[in-house]
Amino acid sequence: MAKTPADTARKIWLAGIGAYGKAFTEAQESLAKMGGDTSRVFEELVAKGEEIEDAVETRGRELAKQVAAPSFSIDERIKQMRARLKLGDDDDGDRFEAIEARLDAIEDKLDALLAKSKKPQKKKPGKKPSKNIAD
């Protein structure tokens, strides 16, 4: 029985080292028993790995055949995007001309408003401004 926490910790440490030592000894004994069988076991593992590799490649080819690559036409993609954006076909020039005409009319109105605001305004007769800033 451990008397102090330090004794308990030391026993736990020693038990861990003992477990490692036992596993190491058992592994060495297993390797010694295999001895000449090592190359046979290695070759069996290589053969099994080759079987798995072949199966994976075969299955991959089967899946690749099932999945058809989508056709990619840039013209078709542009047409789809224009349809999504409701822009219509390229021959829809009348609509764009109408929009340009409306924008021109808006610009003309803005120019007229700006011209009005830049005209000098007549001063109303009245009290002269004071020279004293504090007023």
Contact 11, 2 (CB under 8 A): yes
Which pLDDT does position 52 carry in this prediction? Answer: 92
Q: Which residue has the higher pLDDT, 1 or 106?
A: 106
Burial of 16 (0-12, 13-18, 19+ CB in 10 A): exposed
Residue, of 123 and 9, whose pLDDT is higher: 9
47-69 pLDDT, tens digit per residue, is: 999 999 999 999 988 888 887 66
Residue 73 carries which DSSP code? -
* Residues 41 and 34: beta-carbon distance below 8 Å: yes
For residue 86, is it left (φ>0), alpha (ψ between -120 and 50) or beta?
left
Contact between 119 and 126 (Cβ < 8 Å): no
How many angstroms separate the CA atoms of 104 and 110, rounded?
10
The overall longest dimension of the chain from CA atoms, in Å, is 122
Q: What is the pLDDT of residues 74-123, one digit of tens each?
A: 888 888 888 888 765 555 667 788 888 999 999 999 999 988 887 666 66
- The answer to whether the Cα torsion of 100, 81, 74, 90 is positive or negative is negative
d(CA 127, CA 131): 12
